[in-house]
A and B are shown apart, each in its own frame.
Chain A
Amino acid sequence: MRLLVHNLLMCNKCDKNNYPLKIEVNKSVIMELEFKKDAILKLIPKLDFEVLSNTVRELGFKQFPKQIPPNVEQDLAFLKDLHRVLFETHIMDGQLTCPNPSCKRNYPITNGIPNMILTEDEQ
């Protein structure tokens, strides 16, 4: 799982206070991917940047900016950091937890793929 999908995903079970899911990482790996400036620029409006920034900082990358810098199209350093965080950092093992205190449902991540399937009772 990469942080792009984490930025979009909500808890499947509850309706309120179900975003963002808390990440617990057991194993992560960096896999390089070709940097495409246009693709990343197109994606920026889709991101909840505050959530992304908080998540990235919690996972250890303290230097990541809290806000999108002005003149982002020219800020290549920022775009490359964003690319690394969104596309190159793979969480291979861990879990996602719903932030809703009355839910707290755990979604395990195995082989880099989060399991969002609910049991029969939960539906």
Chain B
Amino acid sequence: MSRPESQLPPNLYYNEQESVKYTNCNRIINIQTQLSERAIQLLDLDLDECSLVLDIGCGSGISGFYLTQEGVNWVGLDISESMLNVAQQEKTEGELLLCDIGQGFKFRPGVFDAAISISVIQWLCVSFKKSENPYKRCTAFFESLRNCLKNNARAVFQFYPENNEQINMITSAALRAGFSGDIVVDYPNSAKAKKLYLVLQLGGQSSKKTMDVIQGLIEESDEEKVKVIGRQQKKIRKQKKQKKISEKSKLWILKRKEKQTRLGRKVKKTTKYTGRKRNNLGLFK
């Protein structure tokens, strides 16, 4: 199944039909719910102090719902009018704004205590128009975010990068804007369950010039998987070590004859003429 990011720009992909499907599909709701809960856990909000959170790519309000449950007010940004209309219909308690985060956004400086984003920022790395430059969009986004977050605020982004280039583009833009942080990987050994969270902090260790990838959650069964993968990798490495014998060479012929003998077939006797170099005389190619 191809990624949504390679099909259409997000405001067109999440059209009315897709928005309704997204909101009614239990599987999607479950996944987005788990991601939201985990992101809120990583945010580590001080609920006595925290009153305003920015939800980037709030969509139909699934993550916002959990923020409301924690007793926190939130402002949601999304590029899809259809998704926001669904959120409006569901009477979400957060504020909704139709906005393209790659263009940047402006709020009063330092108003937000934290920021959260579920399955969104990889969209910044793709462009559908010539005028859209992913590098500039990532820069504009992180600069806008830095301006509206209070000092020492934390921001957590669960996202689906397609490749390392996208990870680098996003992390370097965040570092340039003045954030420090790490990438947390949950269930790193499961292709299906593996999830990436960019956890950023504003202020604090500003001397850090790169981001580390740190291990998050790991399932018990993952440890078994690690053992199995280890054994498989050993086997592959062993096979690679054995040099490849070129076809039709004398050595190859002899090995084939040996194999056929073992299988019990009739094989001609090996003599000094076996596999000798022949002069083709231009007759055989």
Please list the residues of chain A having a beta carbon within 8 angstroms of any beta carbon in chain B: 1-2, 4-5, 7-12, 18-19, 31, 33, 36, 38-39, 42-43, 45-46, 48, 87, 111-118, 120, 123
B106→A43 contact, CB < 8 A: no
A46-B51 contact given A8-B75, A33-B93, A112-B96, CB 8 Å threshold: yes
Question: How far is A42 from B195 in the complex, measured between Cα atoms in Å?
Answer: 33
A116-B84 contact given A42-B51, A46-B52, A46-B111, CB 8 Å threshold: no
The answer to whether B190 has its CB under 8 Å from any CB of chain A is no
A39-B51 contact given A111-B88, A113-B81, CB 8 Å threshold: yes
The answer to whether B155 has its CB under 8 Å from any CB of chain A is no
B108→A19 contact, CB < 8 A: yes
- Could you list 13 A-B pairs, sorted by A, with CB under 8 Å? A1-B96, A5-B75, A9-B106, A10-B106, A11-B106, A39-B73, A43-B51, A43-B52, A46-B51, A87-B93, A115-B98, A116-B99, A118-B103
Question: How far is A107 from B49 in the complex, measured between Cα atoms in Å?
Answer: 32
Question: How far is A114 from B81 in the complex, measured between Cα atoms in Å?
Answer: 10
Beta-carbon nearest neighbor of A11 in chain B = B106
A111→B52 contact, CB < 8 A: no
B122 to chain A, nearest CB (A): 20
Q: How many A-B residue pairs have CB under 8 A?
A: 77
Question: How far is A76 from B3 in the complex, measured between Cα atoms in Å?
Answer: 52
The answer to whether B204 has its CB under 8 Å from any CB of chain A is no
Question: How far is A9 from B131 in the complex, measured between Cα atoms in Å?
Answer: 26
The answer to whether B104 has its CB under 8 Å from any CB of chain A is yes
A39→B79 contact, CB < 8 A: no
- Chain A residue contacts of B111, Cβ below 8 A: 8, 46
Question: How far is A116 from B85 in the complex, measured between Cα atoms in Å?
Answer: 15
A113→B98 contact, CB < 8 A: yes
- Chain B residue contacts of A39, Cβ below 8 A: 51, 71, 73
User: Which of A12, A36, A118, A123 meets B71, CB within 8 Å?
Assistant: A36
- Chain B residue contacts of A45, Cβ below 8 A: 51
A117→B99 contact, CB < 8 A: yes
User: Which of A8, A31, A117 meets B107, CB within 8 Å?
Assistant: A8
Q: Mark B91-117, 1 if CB is under 8 A from A, else 0.
A: 101011111100111111001000000
- Chain B residue contacts of A33, Cβ below 8 A: 93
A117→B95 contact, CB < 8 A: no
Beta-carbon nearest neighbor of A116 in chain B = B99
- Chain B residue contacts of A5, Cβ below 8 A: 75, 95, 97
Question: How far is A115 from B84 in the complex, measured between Cα atoms in Å?
Answer: 11
A54 to chain B, nearest CB (A): 15
Question: How far is A60 from B104 in the complex, measured between Cα atoms in Å?
Answer: 33
- Chain B residue contacts of A118, Cβ below 8 A: 100, 103
Question: How far is A87 from B74 in the complex, measured between Cα atoms in Å?
Answer: 12
A43→B107 contact, CB < 8 A: no
- Residue picked from B85, B99, B131, most chain A C-beta under 10 Å: B99
- Chain B residue contacts of A2, Cβ below 8 A: 95
B105→A116 contact, CB < 8 A: yes
A113→B51 contact, CB < 8 A: no
User: Which of A18, A38, A87, A116 meets B97, CB within 8 Å?
Assistant: A116
A120→B131 contact, CB < 8 A: yes
User: Which of B49, B85, B95, B99 meets A4, CB within 8 Å?
Assistant: B95
- Chain B residue contacts of A113, Cβ below 8 A: 81, 84-85, 88, 96-98
